[in-house]
């Protein structure tokens, strides 16, 4: 098989591969770029695998006038900048020892050894400078074309090397799997059997994988498989996946925000995912807005258009009721609306706590009126 793409033919990629080959080394584009080219998916990063040792790569880059950064030299990786693009170049490796979270690796001279330490068969694919694909395991191309997510070798052995591969299995299922075929039975069984190993992972790593998974166009089948295997409850206690496919259907062109989907799963397990401060604030606002039960315009005013949109969609999915008619326009109206009463309107008759209480009461009345009550109508309302 031969592949092509702008990522492969651009000057930087060709320069780096040619630099290694001209010095007598083997050099291949590897992993995600090759997989995505076969699947017709966008390619973001280009990783390169070679039999050259990292010190040799650095010396060749220097001789070619290219910047080289020792980003992971202990693991055999350096980053070379060519054509303003970064290329991670990693020496062929084989695992010597693993503990479920990290591996001790040794350099290897054979592409077959490098392929055997990768997670999924569709990631153990290599492409030469001319686009010719090498499939050292003999099954990667077929699995990629079938959108079949299969572990390299024995699934349990791959998972025990790094328990994060359980989550990667479901993330790849969401992004690249064939929903009609479903998950690979052996891989799913291994994930279920070894799910306790998730407890050895940092919550930051788990959170990063969940964000990627929930950002897929339709993560619902993968999340359902996570629930069936017992993995979901270990990550998000109290989560319920049943509303997620409804939410995906309701989104209908909305950007697939992972926060919205995480909120739709319910439970408070997301608080343990070590989200950033901004992400935590967003989730807290979204959870409050989803529970609030207010009208779309009120939610737009209180939380902003993005949170209000997510809350309306999540609430509709959770309750099984469609969003109210005109909800998008009303959210926009609320987000742009200004409460017509100010403190000055209530002074000097009121001050201190009484003034604050009256302002809050009038604002609640304004929100309950779908932001329709005028300043005069609000000021005419009797005090409670």
One-character DSSP codes across 123-188: GS-EE-TT-BEE-TTS-HHHHHHTT---BSS-HHHHHHHBTHHHHHHHHHHHHHS-TTT-S-HHHH
Range scoring the smallest mean pLDDT among 97-111, 159-173, 223-237, 366-380:
97-111
Query: Is the bond preceding residue 146 a cis peptide, omega within 30 degrees?
Result: no
Task: Quote the crossing angle between the two packed helices 258-265 and 277-292, to the nearest 10°.
Answer: 50
Q: How many percent of the chain have pLDDT more than 70?
A: 97
**Residue-level pLDDT at 267:** 85
Backbone angles phi, psi at 151, to 5 degrees: -70, 150
How would residue 176 be classed by pLDDT, with cut points 50, 70 and 90? very high
Domain termination site, one of 113, 129, 146: 146
| Residue 62 belongs to a domain | yes
Give the span between the Cα atoms of 14 and 4, in whole angstroms: 12
Which comes out higher in pLDDT, residue 77 or 101?
Answer: 77
pLDDT band at 291 (very low <50, low <70, confident <90, very high): confident
CB of 37 within 8 A of CB of 63?
no
Q: Between these two residues, 98 and 382, which has the higher pLDDT value?
A: 382
Q: Which of 127, 146, 165 is the last residue of a domain?
A: 146
Please check whether residue 126 lies inside any domain of the structure: yes
Rounded to 5°, the CA angle 103-108-111 comes to: 105
At residue 97, does pLDDT exceed 80? Answer: no
Mean pLDDT is lowest, of 72-81, 141-150, 156-165, for 72-81
Mean local confidence (pLDDT), 67-88 = 91
Count: domains in the chain: 2
Look up the CATH number of the domain holding residue 43: 3.30.460.10
Which of these three, 146, 172, 204, is where a domain ends?
A: 146
Higher pLDDT among residues 74 and 243, named by residue: 243
Q: What is the pLDDT of residue 99?
A: 53
Are β-strands 27-30 and 47-50 bridged in parallel, bridged antiparallel, or unpaired? antiparallel
Identify the domain containing residue 350 by its residue range: 340-379
Does residue 311 lie in a domain region?
A: no
Average pLDDT over residues 360-377: 96
Please list, in sequence order, all residues whose beta carbon lies within 8 angstroms of the beta carbon of residue 334, skipping any fewer than 6 positions away.
296, 297, 298, 299, 300, 301, 302, 308, 371
Establish if 51 belongs to a structural domain.
Answer: yes
Kindly indicate the confidence band of residue 328, based on its pLDDT and cuts at 50, 70 and 90. Answer: very high
Q: Would you say residue 359 lies in a domain?
A: yes
In the predicted structure, residue 353 carries a pLDDT above the cut 80 = yes
Residue 206 lies in a domain: no
47-50 and 85-91: which strand pairing?
parallel
Coil, strand or helix at 113:
helix
Is residue 359's pLDDT more than 70? yes
Query: Is 266 part of a structural domain of the chain?
Result: no
Q: Using 50, 70 and 90 to split pLDDT, how confident is the model at 349? A: confident
Residues 117-129 have a mean pLDDT of 97
- Contacts with 376 (C-beta within 8 Å, 6 or more apart), sequence order: none
- Read off the pLDDT of each residue in 71-92 and give the average, rounded to a whole number: 92
**Predicted confidence (pLDDT) at residue 217 exceeds the cutoff of 60:** yes
- Tell me the H-state helices in the chain: 6-9, 11-22, 32-39, 54-63, 111-116, 140-145, 155-161, 164-176, 185-193, 203-214, 220-229, 231-235, 244-251, 258-265, 277-292, 296-303, 305-319, 327-336, 352-368, 375-379
Query: Do the domain assignments include residue 284?
Result: no
**Listed range (125-129, 252-256, 344-348) with the worst mean pLDDT:** 252-256
Q: Mean pLDDT throughout 128-132?
A: 97
Q: For residue 361, is pLDDT > 90?
A: yes
Q: What is the mean pLDDT of the chain?
A: 94
């Amino acid at each position: 098989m031969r592949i092509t793409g702008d990522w492969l033919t651009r000057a930087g990629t060709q320069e780096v591969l040619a630099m290694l080959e001209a010095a007598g080394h083997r050099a291949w584009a590897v992993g995600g770029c090759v997989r995505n080219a076969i699947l017709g998916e966008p390619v973001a990063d280009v990783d390169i695998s070679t039999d050259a040792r990292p010190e040799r790569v650095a010396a060749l880059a220097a001789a070619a006038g290219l910047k080289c950064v020792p980003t992971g030299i202990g693991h055999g990786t350096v980053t070379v900048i060519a054509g303003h693009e970064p290329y991670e170049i990693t020496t062929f490796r084989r695992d010597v020892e693993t503990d479920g979270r990290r591996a001790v690796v040794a350099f290897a001279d054979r592409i077959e050894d490098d392929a055997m330490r990768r997670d999924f068969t569709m990631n153990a694919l290599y492409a030469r400078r001319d686009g010719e694909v090498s499939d050292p395991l003999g099954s990667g191309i077929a699995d990629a074309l079938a959108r079949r997510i299969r572990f390299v070798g024995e699934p349990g052995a791959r998972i025990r090397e790094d328990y994060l591969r359980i989550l990667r299995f479901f993330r790849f299922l969401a992004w690249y799997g064939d929903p009609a075929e479903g998950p690979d039975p052996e891989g799913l069984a291994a994930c279920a059997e070894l799910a306790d190993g998730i407890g050895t992972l940092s919550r930051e790593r788990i959170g990063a994988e969940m964000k990627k998974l929930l950002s897929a166009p339709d993560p619902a089948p993968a999340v359902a498989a996570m629930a069936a295997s017992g993995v979901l409850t270990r990550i998000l206690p109290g989560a319920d996946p049943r509303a997620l496919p409804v939410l995906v259907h309701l989104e209908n062109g909305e950007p697939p925000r992972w926060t919205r989907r995480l909120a739709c799963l319910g439970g408070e397990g997301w608080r343990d995912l070590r989200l950033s401060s901004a992400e935590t604030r967003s989730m807290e606002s979204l959870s409050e807005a989803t529970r609030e039960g207010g009208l779309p315009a009120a939610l737009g005013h209180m939380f902003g258009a993005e949170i209000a949109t997510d809350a309306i969609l999540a609430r509709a999915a959770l309750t099984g009721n469609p969003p109210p008619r005109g909800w998008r326009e009303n959210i926009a109206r609320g987000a742009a609306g200004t409460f017509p009463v100010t403190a000055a309107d209530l002074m000097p008759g009121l001050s201190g706590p009484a003034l604050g209480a009256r302002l809050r009461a009038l604002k609640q009345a304004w929100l309950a009126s779908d932001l329709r009550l005028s300043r005069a109508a609000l000021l005419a309302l009797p005090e409670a």
